[in-house]
Chains A and B, each alone.
Chain A
Amino acid sequence: MHEMGLMAEMVDLLAESAKEHQVRRIDKVKLIVGKMTNALPDALQMAFDVYKEQELFSPSAVLEIEERETIGHCAECGTTFPVRDNALFICPSCQGLRIDIVSGRELYIENYEGEEETRYDN
């Protein structure tokens, strides 16, 4: 439900960066989304369809979302393992309960591509 808000943040961050890098129209944005966040890729795509009407984007702009599985790391024995259902933070090797999350919390813009502003330098 908060994906519209997340997308608004994304558009603001992109607008700022595009200005700085003199990008006129954005064609493609790549987002990394961990499974241990509450951001749903489908809802993000729907929100993007609304926001891509803005001039910052080309009409055919796409949002690419790369999902990351939830991976735990056992502080007792060092085993790295996928966390089942995002809820079972128990080491499969030693049954340890002190588990750090090494992946799954990601929610960031990795990169974007766009048309560079035409310059008339000469």
Chain B
Amino acid sequence: MTIKVDLGTPLLARNEEMAEEIRYLAAENQIFIVNIMSSPGAGKTTLLEQALGYLTKELRTAVIEGDIATTRDADRISAHGVEAVQLNTEGACHLDARMVYRAMQKLDLTQVDLLLIENIGNLVCPAEFNLGEDLRLVLLSTTEGNDKVVKYPVMFRDAQMLVINKVDLLPYTDFSREELAGDVAGLNPALEIFYTSARSGEGVENWVKRLVGLVRAKYGVSS
């Protein structure tokens, strides 16, 4: 006999459960989690390298590096004396909450105030997977063009912070700050925008100050 079963179960139900576990771990250890997303080559790792100098003076920082293969990025971060865990997805186009939860087990969470998760370079798939983060940060470089915001609406609608990197290259691109501001106003008016150059260091300190401010606002000045 044929029967029909009503479910109403989200496809990502299990990821949401794991994200909840991460939030629990983070709250218990007073850790602020940032999920950093961008397309490949936007400058995520280079920006982090620039930021760590400022960040580590204020907060005990750890990094989870997501890549399809190699430990190159974790090696780059470790060279700055910051604890870094490399995650290799071996083909998968995004990090999910289970991978992050496992990576967190490798850290001494009692010694971490800020956990930066560098997601796989991709503006599509990572948007779908909640990692239990406090802040979703998207990095976009000037050479990619300002139209990416409306071309990847799910990614940019769900983010709270947008960092436009490679401002040193602005004169050589058609990137328009005005068009970007207009598109952001229509898609996600609460999105905070920062301009940086991970290469020259321009704007990095200003952005880091805001990040530190958000962490302090959540967990107080003592951390």
0/1 string, B78-116, CB within 8 A of A gives 1: 000000000000001110100000000000000000000
Interface residues on A, range: 35 or more
Point out the residues of chain B lying under 8 angstroms from A113, CB to CB.
Answer: 2-5
Q: Majority SS of interface residues in chain B?
A: mixed
Q: Give Cα A58–Cα B187 distance, bound, in whole angstroms.
A: 43
Residues of B within 8 A of A (CB): 1-15, 92-94, 96, 122, 124-125, 127-128, 149-150, 153-154, 157, 183, 185-189
Q: Please tell me if the beta carbons of A2 and B93 are within 8 angstroms of each other in the complex.
A: yes
Considering only CB atoms, which chain B residue lies closest to A113 in the complex?
B4
Number of A-B contacts (CB under 8 A): 105
- A12 cross-chain contacts in B, Cβ below 8 A: 14
Instruction: Find chain B residues with CB under 8 A from A36 CB.
Output: 153-154, 157
Query: In the complex, which residues 91-122 of chain A have their Cβ closer than 8 Å to any Cβ of chain B?
Result: 97-98, 107-116
Instruction: Check A116–B7 contact: CB distance below 8 A.
Output: no
A-B contact pairs, 6 of them (CB 8 A): A2-B128, A17-B5, A36-B153, A87-B149, A107-B12, A108-B10
Let me know if A86 and B12 touch, CB within 8 A: no
